[in-house]
């Protein structure tokens, strides 16, 4: 109600906050600012800065502001001090711009935040053809975003070239790239043929990455076929002792 009221009369909506119990004030304030931002983004966002509202509290308001004035809101966000919260809010606007705008935004945010944008970027680039996607992924520096790109590209290649599944990972050099490809291949495969998925996970070079992937594959398998998963777990040496203990405890409750 307050959000709708703020669209029509922001001062009156703010005045109504005074009559609310303290435990509801923060949530109600968020609703009022979001309603105001949906009608007058510039004034609402300026008010939040002037009144010390933290960026992590502004997801709803920024979302409304982006719907009303995407370009202006992104410019306002760019002017805020760099932080993970600012990057997360900027990413809210990624899906509504052109591919060129999304690529520009991707380059602006901190490397640590880029992985969450990769799926959207790859989807946009895929309209220009597989070669464009592959070139972009290979141009990314080492890190989580590049790994996410390799995974997304491999997933698409599996759908496009199912007869090449066994060799797709070999197109990447040993190391994080190949490990990411192997994880991508084993993901959907674990739903239909977990024993075969294990053969791909076994090829992951980094022990921690391999153990984590095996663990989550085991959880998925457990939820679908506990008997077969338990038999695999009893004989496998691919999991660390601690991961195996955790999964065995889960199995014991079945």
| Residue 51 belongs to a domain | yes
| Residue 76 belongs to a domain | yes
- Residue identified by tokens 């698409």 is 156
| pTM, full prediction | 0.81
| Residue 192 belongs to a domain | no
Q: Provide the pLDDT for residue 22.
A: 64
- Contact call for residues 56 and 82 (beta carbons, < 8 A): no
| Residue 238 belongs to a domain | no
Mean pLDDT score, 121-129: 91
pLDDT tens figures, 73-95 = 999 999 999 999 999 988 887 66
Average pLDDT, the chain: 89
> Total structural domains in the chain?
1
| Residue 7 belongs to a domain | yes
Domain enclosing residue 58, as ranges: 1-92
pLDDT tens figures, 128-177 = 998 999 999 999 999 999 999 999 999 999 999 999 999 999 999 999 99
Mean pLDDT score, 26-53: 87
| Residue 52 belongs to a domain | yes
| Residue 16 belongs to a domain | yes
Q: Provide the pLDDT for residue 254.
A: 53
pLDDT tens figures, 41-75 = 999 999 888 888 888 888 889 989 998 998 899 99
| Residue 204 belongs to a domain | no
Q: Which of 70-74, 195-199, 246-250 has the lowest mean pLDDT?
A: 246-250
Q: Which of 55-69, 107-121, 140-154, 209-223 has the lowest mean pLDDT?
A: 55-69
């Amino acid at each position: 109600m307050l959000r709708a009221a703020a669209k029509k009369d922001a001062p009156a909506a703010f005045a109504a906050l005074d009559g609310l119990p303290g435990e509801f004030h923060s949530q109600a304030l968020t609703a009022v600012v979001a309603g105001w931002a949906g009608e007058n983004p510039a004034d609402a966002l300026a008010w939040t800065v002037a009144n010390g509202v933290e960026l992590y509290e502004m997801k709803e308001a920024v979302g409304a502001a982006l719907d009303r004035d995407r370009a202006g809101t992104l410019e306002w966000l760019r002017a805020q001090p760099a932080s993970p919260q600012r990057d997360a809010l900027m990413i809210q606007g990624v899906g509504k711009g052109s591919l060129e705008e999304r690529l520009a935004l991707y380059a602006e945010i901190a490397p640590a935040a880029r992985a969450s944008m990769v799926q959207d970027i790859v989807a946009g680039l895929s309209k220009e053809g597989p070669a464009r996607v592959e070139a972009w992924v290979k141009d990314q520096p080492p890190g989580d975003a590049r790994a996410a790109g390799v995974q997304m590209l491999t997933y698409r290649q599996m759908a496009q070239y199912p007869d090449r599944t066994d060799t797709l990972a070999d197109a990447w050099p040993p190391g994080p790239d190949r490990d990411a490809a192997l994880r991508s291949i084993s993901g959907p495969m674990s739903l239909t043929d977990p024993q075969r998925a294990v053969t791909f996970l076994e090829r992951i070079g980094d022990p921690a990455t391999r153990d984590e992937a095996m663990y989550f594959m085991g959880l998925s398998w457990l939820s679908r076929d506990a008997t077969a998963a338990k038999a695999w777990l009893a004989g496998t040496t691919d999991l660390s002792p601690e991961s195996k203990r955790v999964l065995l405890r889960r199995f014991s409750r079945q």
